[in-house]
């Protein structure tokens, strides 16, 4: 038995143990401890199995079935091993965090059993080698996440609506994936990935399957316009569940797209790359724009996930397009950037959602307008959330900066090959993609300055924020590990980049190596990134500044003086501070035509006077334009059609027999033709 086979068998055994503990342990407190530890061990087994596959280990776990079909075969390659490691690391952090955050609903038997099934399905999707096993574990992953949300429907009424949206969009994505694989299987005559890879990418079947699979995997990866479940589901999920869904599950959608573009249908036509880039660019811009004006912390993070996934697909599309123009070095760099973005997003977004879960546990509040002052009350959470926010804003020296730097370098160098301009399509698409990244980077910086500054700095704006306390140690440990991963991957990107380069081989061979302490030398595009330079420059700037501040503080003690903007008062009140809504107001006005905000202003006058105002109450809300302008009309049309269709059911047996007779005639005519 190979180590890969032993690792997958260990995952099956740990799944059974985790489900059994969730069902049999009577005490909610001990159920959370035992089930959480077993779920963490299940995810750790996935980390080990994926790492073995990533380093070249091989092995196949064969699962016979009673159906007249080939047995299911699980055998992860290097790319599958990489994704297993990423989702499993997030699973470890989420499981440990869930031990401390568990309450009545989160500690239920359904919740912990579903958590184990969810993690198990996510880990084994990348190990599938055929369509049937891929779809089987895909559905196990989806059902596990659905049951996790269902465990909380009794405590919050809004969960039911979110669950309906999630179930509908998940099944829509599954339908597209199933249809795409069906087209490939019909064209090649097999269901194994090796057989599907024999199809000519220039055929019409390949193009049809590509579009269907892109829609299916894009829906799971939260791409616009299939993202509408995201701002509903993730705010309703507990912190550790949202971290697992946003930091791990969306990467399964990315893996599906990589499977198509790297393994099954490589070297596709140029318009494939343009389509992927267009979806990625629209998703990145729309996601970060919605995040920048959101006042709910989890909604902000949910839309930020759409932005991050948009950048991942932007890099993947650029790779497909540039490879068609024979810009191999830039294409490989763009593919590496997509993988770096995927890994980076898993690190900082999981940490951010765990931080949001810690805030929710301490304050029971997610509205940024009612938070504030948490930095002094929750220092560990504030530090971890701040490090992850730096990564989400792509600032040095974090993993997010390395990923976006690689993507920008690939796009800039992709406009020319050997001093000659590439195709017109690439020469237009690359500068536009650079502009998209620049705009999203600026908006991301504003978004996370707002998220961190409003929530953790200044003074508390509510009694809940004033009474906040740091979370238990078992919850702080995953937060600290996540923050260290964000900083560590940014300081030492060389080994990670080499591992990613090996994961996409042998068809794709990015030419990268580690230089210095752990820098990156992308020789395919002749660029070098050495994070130690940033550290040295930061030290040269910060050390003198900090020294000057300390010396000045000793010589000139702090004195309290009246504040001119406070009417001569010496105490800063919470109402004098920026709120999340007021901070985002300029952006709302600039992008008014896109966001379509609704405002309600209520003015209360003194007595009967129309000139003296007692109180002004202003409410502003920004809804999802795609949901209100596209999905709502479609759902309304479907509902009207359903009402009309009821007339066909009048209870008459004669009419029903007539329907059957007409249907039989139609079938016979079609068969005869």
**Residue predicted with more confidence, 277 or 643:** 277
Number of independent structural domains in the chain: 2
Q: Where are the beta strands (DSSP E) in 206-288?
A: none
Last residue of a domain, one of 241, 264, 287: 264
Q: Give percent above pLDDT 90 in the chain.
A: 22
Give 33-66 pLDDT, tens digit per residue.
Answer: 888 888 889 889 889 988 998 888 888 888 777 7
pLDDT over 60 at 106, yes or no: no
Q: What is the pLDDT of residue 422?
A: 63
Any domain includes 50: yes
What confidence category does residue 542 fall into, taking pLDDT thresholds of 50, 70 and 90?
confident
Q: What is the pTM of this model?
A: 0.89
275 in a domain, yes or no?
A: no
Query: What was the pLDDT predicted at 99?
Result: 87
* 8 A C-beta contact, residue 283 and residue 223: yes
Q: What is the mean pLDDT of the chain?
A: 83
pLDDT score of 419 more than 70:
no
> Residue 314 pLDDT more than 90?
yes
| pLDDT above 70 (res 152) | no
- Report if residue 81 sits inside a domain: yes
For 264-310, how does the pLDDT look when each residue is reduced to its tens digit (9 = 90+)? 888 888 889 999 999 999 999 999 998 888 888 999 999 999 999 99
Residue-level pLDDT at 107: 65
Task: Read off the pLDDT band of 650 (50, 70, 90).
Answer: low
User: pLDDT digits over 341-354, tens only?
Assistant: 999 999 999 999 99
Asked whether residue 554 is assigned to any structural domain, the reply reads no
Between CA 73 and CA 5 the distance in angstroms is 11
Judged against a pLDDT cut of 90, whether residue 587 lies above it is answered with: no
| Confidence check: pLDDT of 93 > 90 | yes
% of the chain beyond a pLDDT of 70: 92
Residue 132 in domain: yes
Residue 414, classified by CB atoms within 10 Å of its CB into exposed (0-12), middle (13-18) or buried (19+), is buried
- The pLDDT assigned to 281 comes to 92
Taking residues 248-274, report their average pLDDT: 90
Return the higher-pLDDT residue of 54 and 643: 54
Which residues, including other chains, have CB under 8 Å from residue 116's CB and lie 6 or more apart?
A: 15, 18, 19, 22, 35, 38, 39, 42, 144
How many C-beta neighbours within 10 Å does residue 543 have?
10
Task: Examine the fold and report which residue of 264, 283, 318 is the final residue of a domain before the chain moves on.
Answer: 264
pLDDT for 356-371, tens place per residue?
989 988 888 888 888 8
Q: Look at residue 347 in the predicted model and tell me its pLDDT.
A: 92
Res. 481: pLDDT tops 70: yes
Asked if residue 192 belongs to a domain, the reply is: yes
The DSSP bridge partners found for residue 613 are 605
Q: How confident is the model at residue 162 (pLDDT cuts 50, 70, 90)?
A: confident
Quick one: DSSP state of residue 402?
A: H
> Is there a domain that residue 235 lies in?
yes
Q: Which of 264, 285, 313 is the last residue of a domain?
A: 264
Mean pLDDT comparison of 336-340, 393-397, 534-538, highest-scoring range: 336-340
Phi/psi of residue 296, each to 5°?
-90, 130
Residue 109 lies in a domain: yes
- Give the domain range for residue 41: 1-198+227-264
Q: SS3 letters for 312-374?
A: HHHHHHHHHHHHHCCCHHHHHHHHHHHHHHHHHHHHHHHHHHHHHHHHHHHHCCCEHHHCCCH
* pLDDT recorded at residue 90: 93
DSSP string over 450-504? HHHHHHHSS--SSHHHHT--PPPHHHHHHHHHHHHHHHHHHH-HHHHHHHHHHHT
Lowest mean pLDDT of 296-310, 402-416, 592-606, name the range: 592-606
Query: For 69-78, what is each residue's pLDDT tens digit?
Result: 677 888 888 8
């Amino acid at each position: 038995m190979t180590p890969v086979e032993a690792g997958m068998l260990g995952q099956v055994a740990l799944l059974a143990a985790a489900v059994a503990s969730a069902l049999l342990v009577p005490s909610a407190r001990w159920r959370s401890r035992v089930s959480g530890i077993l779920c963490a061990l299940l995810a750790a087994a996935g980390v080990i199995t994926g790492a073995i596959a990533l380093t070249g280990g091989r092995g196949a776990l064969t699962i016979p079935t009673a159906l007249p079909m080939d047995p299911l075969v699980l055998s992860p390659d290097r790319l599958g091993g990489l994704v297993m490691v990423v989702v499993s690391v997030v699973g470890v952090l989420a499981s440990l965090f869930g031990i401390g955050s568990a309450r009545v609903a989160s500690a239920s038997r359904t919740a912990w059993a579903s958590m184990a099934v969810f993690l198990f399905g996510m880990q084994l999707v990348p190990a599938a080698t055929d369509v049937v096993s891929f779809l089987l574990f895909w559905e196990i992953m989806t059902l596990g996440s659905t049951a996790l949300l269902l465990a909380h429907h009794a405590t919050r009424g809004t969960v039911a609506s979110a669950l309906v949206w999630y179930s509908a969009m998940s099944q829509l994505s599954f339908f597209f994936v199933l249809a795409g694989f069906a087209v490939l299987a019909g064209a090649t005559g097999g269901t194994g990935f090796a057989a599907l890879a024999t199809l000519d990418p220039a055929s019409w079947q390949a193009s049809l399957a590509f579009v269907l699979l892109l829609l299916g995997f894009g829906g799971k990866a939260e791409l616009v316009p299939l993202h509408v479940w995201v701002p509903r589901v993730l705010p309703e999920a507990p912190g550790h569940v949202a971290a697992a869904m946003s930091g791990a599950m969306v990467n399964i959608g990315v893996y599906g797209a990589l499977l198509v573009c790297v393994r099954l249908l490589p070297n596709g036509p140029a318009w494939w790359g343009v389509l992927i880039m267009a979806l990625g660019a629209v998703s990145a811009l729309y996601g970060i724009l919605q995040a920048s004006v959101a006042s709910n912390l989890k909604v902000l993070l949910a839309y930020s996930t759409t932005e991050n996934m948009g950048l991942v697909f932007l890099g993947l599309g650029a790779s497909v397009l540039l490879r068609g123009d024979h810009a191999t070095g830039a294409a490989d760099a763009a593919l590496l950037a997509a993988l770096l973005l995927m890994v980076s997003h898993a690190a900082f977004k999981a940490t951010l959602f765990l931080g949001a879960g810690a805030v929710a546990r301490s304050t029971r509040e997610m509205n940024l307008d009612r938070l504030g002052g948490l930095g002094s009350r929750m220092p560990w959470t504030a530090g971890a959330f701040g490090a992850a926010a730096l990564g989400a804003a792509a600032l040095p020296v974090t993993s997010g900066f390395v990923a976006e730097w690689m993507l920008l370098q690939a796009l800039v160098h992709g406009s020319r090959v050997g001093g000659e301009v590439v195709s017109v399509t690439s020469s237009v698409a690359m500068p536009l993609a650079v502009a998209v990244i620049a705009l999203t980077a600026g908006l991301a910086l504003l978004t996370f300055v707002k998220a961190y500054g409003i929530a953790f700095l200044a003074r508390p704006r509510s009694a809940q924020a004033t009474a906040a306390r740091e979370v238990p140690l078992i919850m702080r440990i995953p937060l600290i590990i996540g923050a260290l991963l964000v900083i560590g991957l940014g300081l030492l990107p060389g080994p990670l980049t080499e591992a990613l380069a090996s994961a996409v081989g042998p068809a794709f061979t990015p030419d990268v190596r580690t230089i210095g302490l752990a820098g990156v030398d992308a020789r395919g595009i002749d660029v070098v990134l050495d994070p130690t330079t940033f550290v040295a420059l930061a030290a040269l700037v910060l050390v003198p500044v900090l020294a000057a501040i300390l010396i000045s503080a000793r010589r000139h003690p702090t004195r309290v003086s009246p504040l001119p903007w406070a009417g001569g008062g010496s105490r800063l009140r919470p109402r004098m501070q920026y709120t999340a809504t007021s901070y985002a107001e300029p952006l709302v006005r600039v992008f008014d035509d896109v966001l379509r905000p609704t405002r309600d202003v209520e003015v209360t006058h003194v007595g009967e006077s129309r000139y003296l105002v007692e109180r002004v109450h202003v409410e502003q809300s920004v809804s999802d334009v795609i949901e209100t302008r596209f999905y709502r009309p479609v759902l309304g049309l479907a509902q009207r059609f359903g009402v009309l269709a009821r007339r066909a059911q009048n209870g008459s047996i004669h009419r029903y027999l007539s329907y059957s007779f007409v249907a039989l005639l139609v079938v016979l005519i079609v068969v005869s033709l």
